């Protein structure tokens, strides 16, 4: 018998109490501010977290592209993030972000935007960390799906009505703490593996930059020799822009297509299959791309990522969406994809761009990007080396990415199992659940 079994048998043998969300929690929406409240000088002002600051894969915070607003913006005391808060995405243009949460481990001087909210327990003997695991679980996802079905529309705003019928199990505190201990052991291991993978990706980027950035043969360079440096306009056979494809024009089947945002969020160095499709009649002036073409996203949210590029290595004829530039050429597409991802190329892509809510690039700007151009044989050899290194860092079928993916699935399975309680006065915990909980302890 596990420690968790002992605690359940001793403290709640007949099930646990389920309570309505607002009986046990406060729900606080973030601040609203105007565009002209944002300031560009990071040395003063207030940091504001938004939906994109929650990392989808890990339910953790990242501080990429944090907005800074004037200190004159009015902020309520309850709208400052505090230790043990649960930050949740309450509204966003991206359906993937809705309901995503992150845990705040320390007091901060940071606030959160109007599309965000904070969940705080308001009763004693209720672990915020236990609540965090509930809000990442299938229990909460099923509730959101139920609310969405009742309203016959996809949830795009988590408000008070969303929560009013959500019931939360509130077992005795020692039971909560033991479940948190078990689940956190999974997340800690995943965090360690993720940190190792991050270090490996930085190593990949270092060697990629050393390999593909002139001068070649300099001290510390892994190769010897000199190669011409050319502008993209000198090697391209054609440049053209795609044609707009709206989100509501994406279909389950039809002509494969790419929308510009997917270059940032979905595709890495190269891809063979499109994740999206549309109907040809939706596109007024269809623009196609084919095997070997390079796609550039010419609209983005920050200078650092503007004009991110990807090589298409598939064999279907696909549609390019608006704000995409297609480059045709006679070089190795995988080599071009790697060299255009180097730090040097990214600096060139961002040159002259102005930091604002939306950053734009253009065909003339892309045409001026300079890259080293070895022979096709050398391009092939370097592309193979870098593809292998990139796969070790990204492929969910091998290495650390595969291990992290397996650990995440293991955590999700046991999280949903451990957070399933019999309701007091209804049915007792089934023998199957007890057996599975025993297995949880043995497999950790």
Q: State mean pLDDT over 375-388.
A: 90
* CATH topology agreement for domains 19-170 and 228-373: yes
In 318-428, where do the E strands start and end?
318-320, 324-329, 359-360, 370-372
Q: What pLDDT does residue 313 have?
A: 96
CA distances from 19 to 8, 266, 362 (A): 18, 39, 55
Q: Measure CA 1 to chain center.
A: 39
Average pLDDT, the chain: 85
Question: 437: closest CA among 171, 193, 194, 123?
Answer: 171
Q: How confident is the model at residue 430 (pLDDT cuts 50, 70, 90)?
A: very low
User: Biggest alpha carbon distance in the chain?
Assistant: 79
Alpha helices by DSSP H, listed for 85-172, are: 128-135, 138-151, 160-163
Element (H, E) at 187: helix 173-212
Q: State mean pLDDT over 382-405.
A: 76
pLDDT reading at 432 higher than 50: no
Q: Which residues pair with 172 in a beta bridge?
A: none
Percentage of the chain exceeding pLDDT 90: 49
Question: 156: closest CA among 94, 247, 246?
Answer: 94
Tally of CA atoms within 13 A in the half-sphere of 53 that contains its CB: 22
Q: What pLDDT does residue 195 have?
A: 79
Q: What pLDDT does residue 42 have?
A: 58
Spatial contact of 208 and 341, defined as CB atoms under 8 Å apart: yes
Q: State mean pLDDT over 250-257.
A: 93
The CATH-assigned architecture of domain 228-373 is Alpha-Beta Complex (3.90)
Q: State mean pLDDT over 389-399.
A: 68
Q: What pLDDT does residue 224 have?
A: 45
For the whole model, what pTM was predicted? Answer: 0.63
Q: Which residues pair with 117 in a beta bridge?
A: 29, 88
Q: State mean pLDDT over 253-277.
A: 93
Sequence-distant (6+) residues with CB within 8 A of 195 are none
Structure tokens at 76: 């309520």
What are φ and ψ of residue 349, in 5° steps? -65, -35
Q: How confident is the model at residue 408 (pLDDT cuts 50, 70, 90)?
A: confident
pLDDT reading at 221 higher than 70: no
Angle of CA points 57, 88, 165, to nearest 5°? 115
Q: What pLDDT does residue 429 have?
A: 39
Q: State mean pLDDT over 236-246.
A: 95
Q: Annotate 125-159 with b (16+ C-beta within 10 A) or e (fewer).
A: ebbbbbbbbbbbbebbeebbeebeeeeeeebeebe
19-170 maps to CATH 3.40.190.10: no
Spatial contact of 336 and 329, defined as CB atoms under 8 Å apart: yes
Model pLDDT for residues 149-159, shown as the tens digit of each residue: 877 666 678 98
Give CA–CA dist 397/206, Å, rounded: 24
Per domain, the residue ranges of the chain are 1-16+173-206+376-444, 19-170, 228-373
Helix axes 173-212, 399-418, angle to 10 degrees: 160
Q: What pLDDT does residue 64 have?
A: 75
Q: How confident is the model at residue 282 (pLDDT cuts 50, 70, 90)?
A: very high
Give CA–CA dist 349/309, Å, rounded: 10
């Amino acid at each position: 018998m596990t420690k968790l079994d002992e605690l359940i048998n001793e403290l709640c043998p007949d099930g646990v109490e389920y309570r309505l969300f607002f009986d046990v929690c406060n729900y606080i929406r973030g601040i609203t501010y105007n565009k002209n409240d944002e300031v560009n000088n990071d040395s003063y002002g207030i940091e504001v977290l938004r939906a994109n600051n929650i990392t989808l894969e890990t339910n953790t915070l990242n501080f990429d592209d944090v907005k800074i607003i004037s200190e004159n913006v009015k902020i309520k005391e309850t709208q400052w993030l505090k230790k043990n808060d649960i930050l949740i995405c309450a509204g966003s243009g991206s359906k993937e972000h809705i309901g995503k949460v992150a845990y705040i481990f320390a007091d901060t001087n940071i606030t959160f935007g109007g599309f965000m909210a904070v969940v705080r327990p308001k009763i004693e003997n209720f672990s915020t960390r236990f609540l965090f695991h509930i809000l990442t679980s299938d229990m909460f996802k099923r509730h959101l799906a139920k609310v969405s079905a009742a309203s016959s529309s996809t949830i795009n705003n988590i408000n008070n009505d969303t929560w009013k019928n959500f019931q939360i199990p509130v077992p005795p505190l020692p039971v909560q703490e033991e479940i948190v201990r078990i689940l956190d052991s999974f997340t800690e291991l995943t965090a360690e593996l993720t940190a190792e993978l991050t270090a490996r990706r930085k190593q990949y980027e270092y060697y990629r930059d050393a390999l593909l950035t002139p001068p070649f043969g300099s001290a510390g360079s892994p190769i010897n020799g000199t190669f011409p440096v050319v502008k993209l306009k000198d090697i391209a056979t054609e440049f053209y822009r795609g044609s707009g494809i709206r989100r509501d024009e994406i279909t389950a089947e039809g002509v494969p297509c790419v929308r510009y945002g997917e270059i940032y969020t979905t595709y890495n160095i190269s891809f063979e299959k499109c994740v999206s499709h549309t109907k040809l009649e939706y596109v007024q002036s269809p623009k196609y791309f084919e095997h070997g073409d390079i796609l550039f996203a010419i609209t983005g949210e920050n200078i650092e990522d503007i004009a991110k590029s990807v090589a298409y290595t598939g064999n279907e004829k696909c549609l390019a969406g608006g704000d995409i530039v297609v480059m045709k050429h006679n070089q190795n597409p995988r080599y071009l994809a790697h060299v255009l991802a180097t730090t040097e190329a990214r600096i060139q892509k961002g040159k002259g761009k102005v930091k604002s809510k939306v950053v734009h690039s253009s065909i003339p700007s892309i045409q001026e990007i300079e890259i080293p151009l070895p022979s096709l044989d050398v391009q092939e050899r370097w592309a193979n080396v870098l593809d292998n290194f990139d796969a070790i860092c990204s492929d969910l079928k091998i290495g650390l990415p595969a291990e992290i993916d397996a650990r995440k699935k293991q955590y999700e399975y046991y999280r949903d199992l451990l957070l399933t309680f019999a309701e007091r006065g209804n049915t007792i915990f089934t023998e199957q659940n007890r057996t599975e909980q025993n297995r949880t302890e043995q497999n950790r």
